[in-house]
Amino acid sequence: MDNLSRSVEPEKRDTKKISTAFYEKELARLQVELVKLQEWIRHKGLKVVVIFEGRDAAGKGGVIKRISQSMNPRICKIVALGTPSSREKSQWYFQRYVPHLPSAGEMILFDRSWYNRAGVENVMGFCTPEEYNEFMRSCPEFERMIIRSGIILLKYWFSVSDEEQEKRFQGRIDDPTKTWKLSPMDLKSRELWIEYSRAKDEMFKYTDTKQSPWYVVPADNKKRARLNCIHHLLSSIPYEEINREKITLPPRREDKAYIRTPFANQTFVPEVY
């Protein structure tokens, strides 16, 4: 963890811009630390849950991608559930999420979570007032149970301004590789900006607890948000570097009796490029 504290900061924290060179250098350094954390989680059998919530286009997916891209997918797993089935709708609300909680040596990244009930389900009328009120009562207890079981729980809320969200939505409209990110629900969220703000405030009032606090990530600047979130994640879980033996490649065994299949007998992808 000593390397985590030796962060070079050539730019002031309150400046809006952050250079690409500095961002890439810091991100690479933090990703090395994430791998060390991964090995510590595996070695100690830790169980970690990280929740990412926030408005549409706030940058949750971007930071999840940067966290997971250098890690072992068998240890660091992403959970992004779709619309619940009719069977799931009939279950105890948290039942749908419990099977995705980690076993020893795993870290689970929830790209949205059980907080759907406090946000989109509440605002869009997908749950009844009674179901919503029950969620607000039971969610803190559910999270206390999770923590008492030995799971490390971290909750991040990505906060983006009205102007920046509109800019990002427009960018998705104009980019054919990102248009799929704009669902009818996303567009409706623009119309119901105030309603979602009220829902978030109410959610924090009930679920921002001492045992399980919300950590707000200012996300108008994507690069800064990613670095700050990853740095905080690393600082929230004490870890040490696991010393591993230096890997030496063994010599390849030769078998003179083996004859490889001729290339002419194989079907190759056309070399278009």
Backbone angles phi, psi at 218, to 5 degrees: -60, 125
Residue 8: what pLDDT? 47
**Does the pLDDT of residue 185 top 90, yes or no?**
no
Mean pLDDT of all residues belonging to the chain: 92
Residue 20: what pLDDT? 96
**Does the pLDDT of residue 11 top 70, yes or no?**
no
**82-92: average pLDDT:** 96
Residue 16: what pLDDT? 64
User: Tokens representing 11?
Assistant: 């730019």
**Does the pLDDT of residue 13 top 50, yes or no?**
no
Q: What are the strands, taking DSSP E only, across 73-171?
A: 76-79, 106-111, 151-159
**199-215: average pLDDT:** 98
In CATH terms, the fold of domain 2-245 is Rossmann fold (3.40.50)
Which of 130-144, 199-213, 229-243, 247-261 comes out lowest in average pLDDT?
A: 247-261
> pLDDT tens digits, residue range 98-154?
999 999 999 999 999 999 999 999 999 999 999 999 999 999 999 999 999 999 999
**Does the pLDDT of residue 9 top 50, yes or no?**
no
Integer-rounded Cα radius of gyration of the chain? 22
Query: What single-letter amino acid sits at 74?
Result: R
Residue 133: what pLDDT? 98
**Does the pLDDT of residue 7 top 60, yes or no?**
no
Q: Is the dihedral of CA 84, 88, 92, 94 positive or negative?
A: negative
Alpha-carbon distance of 80 to 113, in angstroms, equals 8
Q: Would you place residue 1 in the very low, low, confident or very high pLDDT band (cuts 50, 70, 90)?
A: low
Residue 178: what pLDDT? 85
Count the Cβ atoms, other than its own, within 10 Å of residue 37.
26
Residue 2: what pLDDT? 59
Alpha-carbon distance of 185 to 123, in angstroms, equals 11
**Does the pLDDT of residue 243 top 70, yes or no?**
yes
Which of 20-24, 72-76, 101-105, 261-265 comes out lowest in average pLDDT?
A: 261-265
**64-88: average pLDDT:** 97
Report domain extents, the chain: 2-245
- Looking at per-residue pLDDT, the higher value among 55 and 7 belongs to 55
Count the Cβ atoms, other than its own, within 10 Å of residue 40.
17
**Does the pLDDT of residue 245 top 50, yes or no?**
yes
Alpha-carbon distance of 195 to 6, in angstroms, equals 42
Backbone angles phi, psi at 54, to 5 degrees: 145, 180
